[in-house]
Amino acid sequence: MTPTLEAEQVTKIYQEGAFQVPAVQEVTMSTKAGEVVAILGPSGSGKTTLLSMLGCMLRPTSGTITIHGECVSDLDEAELPWVRRRYVGFIFQSFNLFAALSAAENVEVVLQMKGLDRRARRAESLRLLELVGLGKRADFLPRDMSGGERQRVSIARALAGDPPLILADEPTANLDAKNGEQVMKLLHSVTRSDGRTVIIVTHDHRVMPYIDRSVRIEDGKLVA
């Protein structure tokens, strides 16, 4: 089976004045369809930097990243948004929803970027919200929803356009235990049913029952 994602010797170095500061150092990892992988580590260890490179939001200083068989680390900056739209769905700790848009409209924004017409966008957004248990809240604004509901809208949005790879940055950090469990159950379910890959950056060990394997990063290096 072709891996959904492969990272080979991926390194990110930031220049601070006369000094070079390594944020991620020579990380090699791969994932396959249908699995949930957690990247664990303390604050400042390089987890989010690594996730940003895997999602083509940051370019590595060196090394290669391949998504669905396509090497993306050597692409021009102008090509990266196309890669993200085609291959990657994102879930953020702070939800990152548009406050003035309803739940359905937040999902439709992504579908519009992926080329669907207005009628198709509406139908698909409603289907995805139904999938995450929010069919009756499609027209609610984020301010009128609980934290768990907002994160489920984020999951629906990440699934928009059927990307093979879902990247989640601390998806349970702002949720209580019950809502965090519901979010992880949902992510685990959509991974299994649709054959996606989910990579979660977290320091929340409550997610462990819902992942297939984990890697640990410390000081920018994988240690396990």
Taking residues 188-192, report their average pLDDT. Answer: 84
User: Percent of the chain beyond pLDDT 70?
Assistant: 99
End-to-end CA distance of the chain: 23
Strand order across the beta sheet in which 62-67 lies: 19-31, 5-16, 62-67, 70-71
Checking DSSP bridges between strand 88-91 and strand 165-169, what pairing results, if any?
A: parallel
Cα separation, 68 vs 91, in Å, equals 20
pLDDT band at 61 (very low <50, low <70, confident <90, very high): very high
Q: How far is CA 60 from CA 27, 30, 85, 177, in A?
A: 11, 16, 19, 35
pLDDT digits (tens, 9 = 90+) for 117-164: 999 999 999 999 999 999 999 999 999 999 999 999 999 999 998 999
Those residues with Cβ within 8 angstroms of residue 61's Cβ, 6 or more apart along the chain or in another chain:
11, 12, 13
Residue 70: per-residue pLDDT: 87
Residue 93: per-residue pLDDT: 85
What global pTM score does this model have?
Answer: 0.91
Taking residues 71-78, report their average pLDDT. Answer: 87
* 197, β-bridge pairs: 165
Predicted confidence (pLDDT) at residue 2 exceeds the cutoff of 70: no
pLDDT band at 1 (very low <50, low <70, confident <90, very high): low
Phi-psi region of 5 (alpha: psi -120 to 50; beta: other; left: phi over 0): beta
Residue 52: per-residue pLDDT: 93
150 or 94, which is more confident: 150
37 or 15, which is more confident: 37
Taking residues 79-107, report their average pLDDT. Answer: 92
Q: How far is CA 62 from CA 57, 59, 143, 215, in A?
A: 15, 9, 42, 21
Taking residues 208-216, report their average pLDDT. Answer: 92
Those residues with Cβ within 8 angstroms of residue 130's Cβ, 6 or more apart along the chain or in another chain:
none
Is the Cβ–Cβ distance between 73 and 9 less than 8 Å? no
